[in-house]
Chains A and B, each alone.
Chain A
Amino acid sequence: MAIPKAQRWLLVALVLSGAASAVSGSIDPYFLDVVMGVGVGVVLASSLNLINGFTGQFSLGHAGFMAVGAYTSAMLSTVVAPRMGWGAGALQWVFFPASLVAGGLVAALAGLAVGAPSLRLKGDYLAIVTLGFGEIIRVVLQNVDAVGGARGLTGVPTHTNLLWTFGTASLTVYTVWALLESTRGRGFLAVADDEVAAEAMGLDTTRYKITAFGIGSFFAGVAGGLYAHLKGYLNPGGFSFEKSIEIVVMVILGGMGRHAGVVFAAILLTLLPEGLRELGSRSIPNPFGGPAWSLDWIKDARMILYSLLLILLMLLRPEGLFHRRQPRRPSS
Chain B
Amino acid sequence: MTEFLQQLLNGVLLGAIYALIALGYTMVYGVLRFINFAHSDVFMLGAFAAWVSVEKLGLPTRSVPGGLAALLAAMSVCAVLGVVIERLAYRPLRQRSTLTVLITAIGVSLLIQNVAQSPRLGFGPNPRAFPELFPSSQLHVGGLTVSTHQLVVLAVALVLLAVLYWIVHRTRIGTAMRALSFNATAASLVGIDNDRVISFTFGLGSALAGAGGVLYAMNYPSIDPLMGTLPGLKAFVAAVLGGIGNLPGAALGGLVIGLVETFVSGTRLSTFRDAIAFGILIAILLFRPAGLLGRPRVEKV
- Interface of A toward B, CB cutoff 8 Å: 58, 117-118, 120-121, 123-125, 127-129, 131-133, 135-136, 139-140, 142-143, 196, 241, 245, 248, 252, 297, 300-301, 303-304, 306-308, 310-311, 314-315, 318
Tally chain B residues at the interface, Cβ within 8 Å.
46
Instruction: State which of A125, A131, A241, A252 has its C-beta within 8 Å of the C-beta of B285.
Output: A125
Asked whether A303 lies within 8 Å of B282 as measured between CB atoms, the reply is no
Chain B residue with minimal CB distance to A130? B282
Q: Is B92 positioned at the interface, with any CB of A under 8 Å from its CB?
A: yes
| Total A-B pairs, Cβ < 8 A | 111
- Sample of 11 further A-B pairs with CB below 8 A, known A118-B282, A307-B114: A123-B102, A128-B35, A139-B272, A300-B121, A306-B114, A307-B113, A308-B111, A310-B107, A311-B108, A314-B104, A314-B107
- Interface of B toward A, CB cutoff 8 Å: 34-35, 89, 92-93, 96-104, 106-108, 110-111, 113-115, 117-121, 229, 233, 236-237, 240, 271-272, 274-275, 277-279, 281-282, 285-286, 289, 299, 301
CB distance from A105 to the nearest CB of B (A): 23
Task: Please name 21 pairs of A and B residues whose Cβ atoms are closer than 8 Å in the assembled complex, sorted by A.
Answer: A117-B282, A120-B289, A121-B285, A123-B98, A124-B34, A127-B35, A132-B278, A132-B281, A135-B233, A248-B103, A252-B103, A297-B120, A307-B107, A307-B108, A307-B110, A308-B111, A310-B103, A311-B89, A311-B108, A315-B104, A318-B97
Asked whether B120 lies within 8 Å of A136 as measured between CB atoms, the reply is no
Chain A residue with minimal CB distance to B284? A129
Asked whether A133 lies within 8 Å of B278 as measured between CB atoms, the reply is yes
Knowing A121-B285, A314-B104, the reply to whether A136 touches B271 (Cβ < 8 A) is no
B-side contacts of A123, CB under 8 Å = 98-99, 102
Asked whether A58 lies within 8 Å of B99 as measured between CB atoms, the reply is yes
Return the 3 tightest CB-CB contacts between A and B, nearest first.
A132-B278, A310-B107, A307-B110
Knowing A128-B240, A314-B103, A315-B93, the reply to whether A245 touches B286 (Cβ < 8 A) is no
Chain A residue with minimal CB distance to B114? A303
A311 and B104 CA atoms in complex are apart in Å by 5
Asked whether B282 lies within 8 Å of A143 as measured between CB atoms, the reply is no
CB distance from B265 to the nearest CB of A (A): 14
A303 and B111 CA atoms in complex are apart in Å by 8
A-side contacts of B97, CB under 8 Å = 318
A-side contacts of B281, CB under 8 Å = 128-129, 132
Q: Which of A120, A248, A303 counts the most chain B CB atoms within 10 A?
A: A303
CB distance from B28 to the nearest CB of A (A): 12
Q: Which of B115, B236, B282 counts the most chain A CB atoms within 10 A?
A: B282
Q: Which of A143, A241, A310 counts the most chain B CB atoms within 10 A?
A: A310
Asked whether B93 lies within 8 Å of A135 as measured between CB atoms, the reply is no
Asked whether B120 lies within 8 Å of A135 as measured between CB atoms, the reply is no
CB distance from B107 to the nearest CB of A (A): 4
CB distance from A44 to the nearest CB of B (A): 17
Knowing A121-B289, A129-B285, A300-B120, the reply to whether A135 touches B274 (Cβ < 8 A) is yes
CB distance from B260 to the nearest CB of A (A): 15
Asked whether B110 lies within 8 Å of A303 as measured between CB atoms, the reply is yes
A252 and B101 CA atoms in complex are apart in Å by 13
CB distance from A179 to the nearest CB of B (A): 22
A139 and B282 CA atoms in complex are apart in Å by 16
CB distance from A295 to the nearest CB of B (A): 13
Q: Which of A131, A196, A252, A315 counts the most chain B CB atoms within 10 A?
A: A315
A-side contacts of B96, CB under 8 Å = 318
Chain B residue with minimal CB distance to A134? B278
CB distance from A209 to the nearest CB of B (A): 15
CB distance from B24 to the nearest CB of A (A): 16
Chain A residue with minimal CB distance to B269? A143
A37 and B30 CA atoms in complex are apart in Å by 42
Asked whether A311 lies within 8 Å of B111 as measured between CB atoms, the reply is yes
Asked whether B102 lies within 8 Å of A140 as measured between CB atoms, the reply is no
Asked whether A129 lies within 8 Å of B93 as measured between CB atoms, the reply is no
A-side contacts of B286, CB under 8 Å = 117-118
B-side contacts of A297, CB under 8 Å = 120
Instruction: State which of A135, A142, A304 has its C-beta within 8 Å of the C-beta of B111.
Output: A304
B-side contacts of A306, CB under 8 Å = 110, 114
Chain B residue with minimal CB distance to A245? B106
B-side contacts of A129, CB under 8 Å = 281-282, 285
Asked whether B102 lies within 8 Å of A124 as measured between CB atoms, the reply is yes
A197 and B277 CA atoms in complex are apart in Å by 35
B-side contacts of A310, CB under 8 Å = 103-104, 106-107, 110
Chain B residue with minimal CB distance to A139? B275
A135 and B281 CA atoms in complex are apart in Å by 12
Asked whether A136 lies within 8 Å of B118 as measured between CB atoms, the reply is no
A153 and B286 CA atoms in complex are apart in Å by 34
Asked whether A135 lies within 8 Å of B285 as measured between CB atoms, the reply is no
CB distance from A183 to the nearest CB of B (A): 25
Instruction: State which of B107, B229, B237 has its C-beta within 8 Å of the C-beta of A311.
Output: B107
B-side contacts of A318, CB under 8 Å = 96-97, 100
Asked whether B98 lies within 8 Å of A124 as measured between CB atoms, the reply is yes
A135 and B232 CA atoms in complex are apart in Å by 14
A159 and B96 CA atoms in complex are apart in Å by 46
